[in-house]
Structure 1
C-alpha cells in the first residue's frame, strides 16, 4: 500500500486558490558577498526558506520522477527505493536513474540521509518521513538539511496540514520545486501540458453515468483501498468513473468486504506493486465468495494500475490516460 512503504500503517476538495496562494515564492537576489539566493516556498502549509539544493535524496519513484521531469538530475545525490516499488528500469526516466546513485532499498532514515551528505530530502508524510523512525522535516531542520513534502501527503501532516485535490497537489509540487530549484518556467510548461492532457481525457468521457470503481490495494480479511485524498481518486473521476469510497475523507483506508459488495463496482482497479503480482490479487478476488455477486467479478473487469501511476508523481497522468481508454472501451 502506498503511503506507508509496506509498513502497513493505517492512514489513510479544496479551492484552487489554496494551491495558487501556496505556490507564490519570494525570491531574493544574490546578496553582497555572493550569498546564495533564497526562495520562500510552502512546505505543506508552512513557509520555509530554501537555497538551490545540490545533493537531493529522493524517496520512492514519485519523488524522483518530480525532479527528473523538471530536468534536475544533476541535483540528485541519490535515491532510496524499497523493494515493493517496480524496477526503475521500467521508468520513463530509466536513463536518469542510471545517472544517480542507488542509496538503499530500506525505508528512509536519518542515518542514510546524513551519510549521503544530503542537503535536501523529498518524501511524503508517513511515506518516507516518520515520527516513529525519527526522520521528520523538523528533525532535518535541526541538522540544516532542507526537506520537501508531497502536498498530497500534507492532508494528514499534524503540524501544518494542507488540503487540495490530488492532481492539484501534484501541480503544486512541481511549481514549488520549480521555485526551489529556480526552474519555474520549466515547471509551468510541464504543469500546463499535464492540464491539457487531463482536459483531453475529460472531453472524451462517454455521456453516461460515472462507472463505479473499486481500487484493491491489499488485504484478505479486510481490503485496503484508495479514499478521496490520493491520486487514484482523481484518475477514476477524470476517466469517467466514481471511486466507490470517494466519500471517505482519508488517503488510504481499510474498509469491509460488505461495503464493497453493497457498492456494486463495475470495475476493479488493481494497484500493482510488491511481492504479490496483480494476477494473484485478481485470482484472490475471483475466488473470494464475498465477491461472487459483484458485477466487476462477474464480467471480469479488472484494470491494473502501476504503483508509480497511483502515488503522487508525473506518471499519474499516464495512469489516467490508460484507465480512461479502458473505460471508454467498456460495453456497459
Structure 2
C-alpha cells in the first residue's frame, strides 16, 4: 500500500436515498434567483483571504467537488470534471443529470496541463488529492497562471501554506457557504446548509443510547491498513450515528496504522470504504482470511458495513452516508 496510496488517502456505491429529494429538487437544474453573473468576492482559501472573480469555466476534481457545485445549482459555471477510476460511476450520483450537461475531461489525477488546456478559470479540489506539490499543481502555481482555485476546508488541516482546521461536517458547511459567496448564490447556500444540518441533527437525536459501538473504518492496505482519523468525515459519521471510531483519537486525516492497534481496538463493526480500485467484497475476504483479523468481533459476527466512496470524502453525500449508517446502528444488535 505504500507504493500506491489509497484513493481515500489521496482525497483525504450505494444508491442515493430518497431523503435527498428535498435537496435535489432545489439543486438539479435549479433556477438561481440571486445574481451569479460576474462580480468579485473576498473568500478564504483555507486560511488565506482571496479575491475571486465569478468563475465561468470551472474544472472540478472527483465527485465531492462536482456535487458541491451541483448542489448549489451552479452547473452552468462548470466546464468539466476529472474523475479518477477509483471514484464510483457518476451515473450513481444524485446529480447524474448534471454531470451529463458538462464535459468529462479525464480519468487521471488532476494536473496543470489538463486545467490549462480546458481554458479553466477556476479549479475545485482538495489538498493532497487534486492539488499536489509533487504533481506541480498547487493554488500558488495556478495563481501565477491567473487561474483561480478553491480547496475543500476539510483538507486544509494539512495544507502547509495557510492551514485551517474544521470539524469535518463544519468543513462541508463552510465549503457550501464559501462557494455560495464566490458565485453570488449565498441564499441558496444557506438553504442547502440548513437542510443538511436538519438532517444531521435528526440522526444524532435518534442515535442509540448507552455504550458506543467500537467501529473500525477499513480503507485499504494489507501489510498495514489505512483508516480514518478525526479530521475526515467518517469520524463524525460514526460519532453522530452513535458509534465510536477506534482511531478517533488520531489528529489525522486518512492515515496508516498497525494491525496490532486494530486488534486492540476490538471493533464490533467494520466499515468498508468502497471504491473502484478494489471491490469491498475483496476487502472483506481479506479480513476474514487474515490470521491478524479473523478473530475480530466484527469479523466473527459478520458485521460489515459498506460505505460509498463519495459518502466518505468531503461531499454533500456525507449526509446520505450518515443517514444510512445511523439506520444501520439503530438496527444493530451486536
- TM-score normalised per structure 1: 0.90
Residue 274 to residue 10, structure 1, CA distance change in 2 (3 Å): closer
- String of CA shifts for 1:264-323, please: whole Å, max 9, x gaps: 001000000023110111111011111122110111100000000000000000000000
1:98 paired residue among 93, 97, 100: 100
C-alpha distance in 2, partners of 1:326/1:122?
Answer: 32
1:6 Cα deviation (Å)?
A: 4.3
Q: What is aligned with 2:163?
A: 161
Q: What is aligned with 1:62?
A: 64
Q: What is aligned with 1:254?
A: 256
Residue 317 to residue 36, structure 1, CA distance change in 2 (3 Å): closer
1:9 Cα deviation (Å)?
A: 6.4
Q: What is aligned with 2:268?
A: 266
Q: What is aligned with 1:52?
A: 54
Residue 92 to residue 195, structure 1, CA distance change in 2 (3 Å): same
Q: What is aligned with 1:198?
A: 200
Residue 72 to residue 312, structure 1, CA distance change in 2 (3 Å): same
C-alpha distance in 2, partners of 1:250/1:311?
Answer: 14
Helix, strand or coil at the partner of 2:324: helix
C-alpha distance in 2, partners of 1:265/1:83?
Answer: 30
Q: What is aligned with 1:293?
A: 295
Contact 2:168/2:314 (CA < 8 Å) preserved in 1? yes
C-alpha distance in 1, partners of 2:228/2:138?
Answer: 24
1:315 aligns with 2:320: no
- String of CA shifts for 1:130-175, please: whole Å, max 9, x gaps: 0111100000001110000000000000010000100000000000
Stretches of 4+ aligned residues off by more than 2 angstroms = 4-12
Residue 299 to residue 9, structure 1, CA distance change in 2 (3 Å): closer
Question: RMSD value over aligned CA atoms?
Answer: 1.8
- TM-score normalised per structure 2: 0.90
Q: What is aligned with 1:276?
A: 278
- String of CA shifts for 1:165-204, please: whole Å, max 9, x gaps: 0000000000000000000000000000000001100111
Helix, strand or coil at the partner of 2:227: strand
1:209 Cα deviation (Å)?
A: 1.1
Contact 1:5/1:84 (CA < 8 Å) preserved in 2? no
C-alpha distance in 1, partners of 2:112/2:165?
Answer: 27
1:181 aligns with 2:211: no
Residue 8 to residue 189, structure 1, CA distance change in 2 (3 Å): closer
Helix, strand or coil at the partner of 2:126: strand
Contact 1:11/1:250 (CA < 8 Å) preserved in 2? no
1:37 Cα deviation (Å)?
A: 2.6
C-alpha distance in 1, partners of 2:215/2:320?
Answer: 18
- How many residue pairs get matched? 309
C-alpha distance in 1, partners of 2:68/2:11?
Answer: 23
Contact 1:81/1:106 (CA < 8 Å) preserved in 2? yes
Residue 9 to residue 272, structure 1, CA distance change in 2 (3 Å): closer
Structure 1 stretches of 5 or more lacking a match?
13-29
1:124 Cα deviation (Å)?
A: 0.3
1:135 aligns with 2:137: yes
Contact 2:8/2:254 (CA < 8 Å) preserved in 1? no
1:329 aligns with 2:299: no
Contact 1:226/1:245 (CA < 8 Å) preserved in 2? yes
1:8 Cα deviation (Å)?
A: 8.9
C-alpha distance in 2, partners of 1:8/1:92?
Answer: 21
Q: What is aligned with 1:217?
A: 219
Q: What is aligned with 1:21?
A: none
Q: What is aligned with 1:231?
A: 233
